[in-house]
Amino acid sequence: MQLLDGKYTAEQIKAEIAEEVVRIKARGGKIPHLAAVLVGNDGASETYVAAKVTDCKQVGFDSTLIRLPADISEETLLGHIDQLNRNPDIDGFIVQVPLPEHIDETRVTLAIAPEKDVDGFAPASVGRMCLGLPTFISATPNGVMELLRRYNIETSGKHCVVVGRSNIVGTPMSILMSRNSNPGNATVTLVHSRTPNMVEICQSADILIVAIGKPDFITADMVKQGAVVVDVGITRVNDSSRASGFRLVGDVHFESVKEKCSFITPVPGGVGPMTRASLLQNTLKAQTLRPQI
Ligand code: GUN
């Protein structure tokens, strides 16, 4: 078994982006600028957004964090989005989700200009991805594709099983893996909570991509010998033996599955760092390729 080391790969990607920023500066170009909108103060969202700002600093991007109160009206939030759409200094921006319940997330994503939608969550971006047109692919599926690409994992003609059908991971993952591209060209089966024979389908996977949000859901008996296993899940599980009081657990039971597979992503240190690196890649793309999107 070999680890698909997302932490190491993400550091490589960040070093490549930092070199590109040096080149942009040297030719007097515009430094990529990412803005993040954080509504309210959900603990996990605070952590994610802080990490995104740190990543920008690390590669030499400009970043702006816009903090808004939890009770902000939808109209006022849409006003902020409109300003970001019009601000020529902002190359791309994200609105961290989840949003407070009184705000319609779809309305918010619809308001983001497609050429600045570095999260790739907006309907126009998802539609363009489905059609194989230039666009932003959301960070987690893009990070998984990049990891498979950099480890030269053969996907063409393989059976890829995606577990989970969320809008931001499972669904786009299934589309990307079936596309005529490399990685891609796989025969894809998407399984979900209503799939009666999920175990047998998983057992037939050459590539198993799991994004279901249930700790240790995939056990060794569900995995074919030699399969490539990508674990997108990351759940905090209480653990009194840790100073933090919790540990991070993936959707795959790593200890048993690692004995059976050819490649596997660890949690943490697998898909998570790749997601963060992908947002930086998208922001660089927003600055350099805007006219094409
Ligand atoms: N919440 C959890 N992950 C993400 C993400 O990648 N983007 C945004 N905007 N919100 C999130």
Shared domain for 172 and 226, answered yes or no, is yes
The reply to whether ligand 1 has any atom less than 6 angstroms from the CB of 139 is yes
Mean pLDDT over residues 9-20, rounded? 98
Task: Please check whether residue 17 lies inside any domain of the structure.
Answer: no
Q: Tell me if residue 14 is catalytic.
A: no
Q: Tell me which residue of 94, 70, 71, 72 sits closest to 81, measured CA to CA.
A: 94
3-class DSSP assignment, residue 114: helix
Residue 49 Cβ < 6 Å to ligand 1: no
96 flagged as catalytic: yes
Angle at 235 between CA 207 and CA 202, to 5 degrees: 25
Ligand 1 closest atom vs CA 98: 1
Last residue of a domain, which of 97, 113, 129? 113
The pLDDT assigned to 44 comes to 87
**CATH code of the domain containing 228:** 3.40.50.720
d(CA 141, CA 118) in angstroms, rounded, equals 13
Question: Quick check: 85 pLDDT over 80?
Answer: yes
CATH code, domain carrying 68:
3.40.50.10860
Q: Give 289's pLDDT tier (boundaries 50, 70, 90).
A: confident
Q: How buried is residue 179: exposed, middle or buried, by Cβ count under 10 Å (0-12/13-18/19+)?
A: middle
- DSSP-based three-state secondary structure for 248: strand
Q: Could you tell me if residue 231 is inside a domain?
A: yes
Q: What is the dihedral of CA 217, 209, 277, 126, to 10 degrees?
A: -110
Domain presence at residue 206: yes
Token reading at 186: 């796989």
Q: What per-residue confidence (pLDDT) applies to 271?
A: 98
From the CA of 160, how far away is ligand 1's center (Å)?
25
pLDDT over 70 at 258, yes or no = yes
Domain of residue 164, residue span: 139-272
Out of 38, 42, 65, 97, give the residue to mutate to test ligand 1, the one with the largest number of ligand atoms within 8 Å of its CB.
Answer: 97
